[in-house]
């Protein structure tokens, strides 16, 4: 997001994200840090966590899932990086569909775009609150491809064979995106540039970085982390961290 205030009359859904941004900026002025026994403590982050814990989602659940703390910027969590080049980006939409297709970066941008405010929750315990994500809804890709009867899951494919499996309902939710901007800025390579997945209602490992494909399937196929002991579903509010 730029420093200029968005048109909140036209985009009222951005109001919370803007208020959150102004809160963080004001907290950074003056006493943003304090020293305790030689350790720096981020006051703004503590306040952000308290505020998030006091809020509710539209579905009635607490905004901040159990065991999570709010942070101000997305953290890089490793992984085998893709090349990050928009010139070589390809997204394959395939599987149990009537019309499989492939998109390059420019073709992705020509599809209807959305901006969604969404929180994301890492299995390690941090949550990014109020991020403004821009991209294409997975539901649009599903509609464009035409799902065959019996599709129940989506496999997000990424560089070097990484996969993440997601139930169809959550993969095609309103805030589930193929995204290329966060708060108005492109992703760095460490965050999945040029394009990544976004499944905000599941732990963040389901939001595949360096994404290369969206595969619709009838039968579930556990992904990279799921076969290594992580939970197959990954609901943060149920603390579904491990199998």
Q: What is the pLDDT of residues 140-174, one digit of tens each?
A: 999 999 999 999 999 999 999 999 999 999 999 99
- CA 96 from chain centre, in angstroms, equals 24
**Angle CA 119–174–134, to nearest 5:** 65
pTM of the model: 0.82
In this predicted structure, what is the pLDDT of residue 173?
97
CA distances from 115 to 14, 101, 181, 183 (A): 9, 24, 9, 10
Q: Please report, in angstroms and rounded to a whole number, the separation of the first and last CA atoms in the chain.
A: 37
Between residues 6 and 135, which one has the greater pLDDT?
A: 135
In this predicted structure, what is the pLDDT of residue 102?
98
Is residue 200 within 8 Å of residue 118, measured between CB atoms?
Answer: yes
Is residue 230 within 8 Å of residue 242, measured between CB atoms?
Answer: yes
In this predicted structure, what is the pLDDT of residue 6?
53
Q: What is the pLDDT of residues 197-221, one digit of tens each?
A: 999 999 999 999 999 999 999 999 9
pLDDT at 31 over 70: no
Cα-based torsion angle of the residue sequence 144, 148, 150, 153 in order, rounded to the nearest 10 degrees:
-40
Tell me which architecture the domain covering 65-238 has in CATH.
Answer: Alpha-Beta Complex (3.90)
pLDDT at 182 over 50: yes
In this predicted structure, what is the pLDDT of residue 46?
85
What mean pLDDT is reported for the chain? 88
């Amino acid at each position: 997001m730029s420093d200029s205030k968005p048109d909140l009359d036209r985009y009222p859904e951005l109001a919370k994200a803007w208020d959150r941004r102004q809160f963080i900026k004001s907290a950074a002025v003056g006493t943003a840090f304090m020293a305790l026994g030689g350790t720096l403590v981020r006051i703004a982050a503590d306040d952000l966590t308290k505020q998030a814990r006091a809020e509710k989602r539209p579905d009635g659940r607490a905004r901040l899932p159990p065991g999570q703390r709010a942070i101000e910027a997305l953290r890089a969590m490793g992984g085998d990086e893709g090349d990050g080049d928009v010139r070589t980006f390809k997204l394959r939409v395939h599987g149990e569909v009537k019309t499989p297709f492939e998109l390059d970066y420019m073709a992705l941008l020509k599809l209807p775009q959305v901006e969604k405010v969404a929180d994301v929750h890492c299995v390690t315990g941090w949550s990014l609150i109020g991020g403004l994500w821009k991209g294409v809804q997975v539901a649009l890709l599903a509609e464009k491809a035409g799902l065959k009867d019996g599709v129940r899951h989506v496999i997000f494919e990424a560089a070097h064979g990484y996969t993440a499996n997601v139930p169809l309902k959550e993969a095609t939710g309103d805030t589930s995106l193929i995204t290329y901007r966060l708060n108005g800025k492109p992703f760095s390579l460490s965050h999945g540039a040029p394009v990544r997945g976004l499944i905000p209602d599941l732990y963040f490992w389901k939001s595949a970085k360096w994404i290369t494909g969206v595969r619709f399937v009838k039968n579930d196929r556990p992904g990279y982390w799921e076969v290594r002991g992580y939970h197959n579903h990954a609901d943060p509010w149920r603390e579904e961290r491990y199998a």
